[in-house]
């Protein structure tokens, strides 16, 4: 690795500066300026930008050859597939499963609270809804 | 030149091959870690879709300002870890130890803030599942939010502990002179793990703390 000898570390500091700015921007947008419907896409967009910076430069993805380069993007593709298809199913569930034409109930009818005892007493449940 | 103590294994054929195999193995492991966290993120997405208003209310009980401090700590520790890789690639062992210790300190700071946050949630009654006692947020949805909060941050904190142990082991290795400019595979792959744990937090931060 003789060619590493001359490389400067200042590039990493620049990337760190960008990450810091993006972090503070995420916080300002999320707590001070309310973006309403755009807040989730904007926050996720900023997170993806930070991830690309970390993966490319801190994890040295830019200098990786071949198979090492594609493993992380491929796992991200699987993440998007699982997330996207699951959300698609959840958001269309009732409409598709109602051939009887009842239109007013597009939201899934959520079960009433299954809690019969006061909180923290007795019944063993993993999630409470 | 394979002696008993040499880290180079003959069956890889060449040193370059050994380094590549180690890094590819780490990348595949990191891919499986992404899929592990994916399940929690999908669960979060589904329940946020079902209970959007309750998630906003519940999120106000988290400490977004401190979460930003935590994010900055992690991002800065990532810089120190990459500087450690940079230093050991040039064979500077002492500098490697120094920046790794700084990174460990920031990781411990992160976990300290997290522990304090957990303690505050405990006092408030914002706990998962049947221990949920937060009156201001509806139990349906609110309990799910805090269940997901503790699962996501808890799994992340466990990864932090493992990664901190890994960094400590790297410090020990660098102190005893195990790593040189020629052989530093453990520093490279250990750094990769630290950065991935950092990346998970980059998504947990806006999803849990900045809901609106």
pLDDT tens track for B7-32: 777 787 788 888 888 889 999 999 99
pLDDT tens track for A39-78: 888 889 999 999 999 988 888 888 877 778 888 889 999 9
Per-residue 3-state assignment (H helix, E strand, C coil) for chain B = CCCCCCCCCHHHCCHHHHHHHHHHHHHHHHHHHHHHHHHHHHHHHHHHHHCHHHHHHHHCCCCHHHHHHHHHHHHHHHHHHHHHHHHHHCCCHHHHHHHHHHHHHHHHHHHHHHHHHHHHHHHHCCCCHHHCCCCCCCHHHHHHHHHHHHHHHHHHHHHHHHHHHHHHHHHHHHHCCCCCCCCCHHHHHHHHHHHHHHHHHHHHHHHHHCCC
pLDDT computed for residue B204 by the predictor? 94
Question: What ipTM goes with this model?
Answer: 0.86
Per-residue 3-state assignment (H helix, E strand, C coil) for A54-101 = HHHHHCCHHHCCCHHHHHHHHHHHHHHHHHHHHHHHHHCHHHHCCCCC
Interchain contact, B212 vs A39, CB within 8 Å: yes
Point out the residue among B31, B203, B207 whose CB comes nearest to the CB of A74: B31
A108 confidence band (pLDDT: 50, 70, 90): low
Interchain contact, B72 vs A50, CB within 8 Å: no
Point out the residue among B23, B75, B195 whose CB comes nearest to the CB of A20: B75
Please check whether residue A34 touches B, CB under 8 A: yes
Q: Which residue of A has its CA nearest to B81?
A: A58
User: pTM of the entire structure?
Assistant: 0.83
Q: Residues of B with CB below 8 A from A71's CB?
A: 24, 27-28, 30-31
B116 confidence band (pLDDT: 50, 70, 90): very high
Whether the per-residue pLDDT at A115 is higher than 50: the answer is: no
Interchain contact, B206 vs A46, CB within 8 Å: yes
Whether the per-residue pLDDT at B92 is higher than 50: the answer is: yes
The two structure tokens encoding residue A47: 């997170």
Which has the closest alpha carbon to A50: B7, B68, B62? B68
Residue in A18, A30, A33, A59 to test binding to B, most B beta-carbons within 10 Å:
A59
Chain A window 49-78: which residues touch B at a Cβ cutoff of 8 Å? 50-51, 54-55, 57-60, 64-65, 67-68, 71-72, 74-76, 78
Q: Which residue of B has its CA nearest to A58?
A: B82
């Amino acid at each position: 690795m003789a060619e590493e000898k001359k490389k400067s570390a200042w590039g990493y500091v620049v990337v760190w500066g960008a990450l810091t700015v993006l972090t503070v921007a995420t916080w300002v947008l999320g707590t001070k300026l309310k973006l309403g419907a755009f807040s989730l896409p904007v926050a996720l967009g900023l997170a993806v930008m930070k991830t690309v910076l970390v993966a490319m430069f801190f994890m040295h993805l830019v200098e990786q050859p071949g198979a090492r380069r594609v493993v992380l993007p491929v796992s991200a593709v699987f993440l998007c597939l699982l997330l996207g298809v699951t959300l698609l199913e959840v958001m269309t569930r009732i409409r598709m499963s109602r051939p009887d034409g009842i239109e007013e109930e597009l939201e899934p009818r959520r079960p009433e609270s299954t809690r019969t005892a006061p909180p923290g007493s007795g019944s063993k449940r993993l999630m409470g809804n | 030149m394979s002696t008993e103590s040499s880290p180079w294994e003959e069956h890889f054929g060449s040193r370059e091959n050994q380094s590549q195999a180690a890094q590819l193995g780490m990348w595949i492991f990191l891919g499986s870690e992404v899929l592990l966290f994916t399940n929690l993120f999908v669960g979060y997405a589904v329940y946020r879709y079902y209970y959007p208003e309750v998630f906003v209310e519940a999120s106000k009980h988290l400490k977004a300002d401190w979460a930003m401090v935590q994010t900055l700590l992690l991002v800065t520790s990532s810089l120190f870890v990459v500087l450690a890789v940079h230093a050991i690639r040039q064979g500077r062992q002492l500098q490697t130890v120094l920046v790794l210790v700084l990174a460990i300190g920031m990781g411990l700071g992160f976990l300290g803030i997290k522990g304090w946050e957990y303690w505050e949630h405990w006092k408030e009654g914002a706990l998962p599942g049947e221990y949920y006692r937060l009156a201001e947020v509806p139990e349906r949805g609110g309990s799910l939010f805090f269940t997901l909060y503790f699962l996501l941050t808890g799994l992340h904190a466990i990864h932090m502990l493992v990664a901190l142990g890994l960094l400590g082991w790297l410090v020990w290795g660098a102190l005893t002179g195990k790593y040189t400019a020629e052989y530093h595979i453990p520093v490279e792959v250990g750094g990769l793990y630290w950065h991935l744990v950092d990346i998970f937090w980059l998504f947990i931060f806006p999803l849990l703390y900045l809901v609106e």
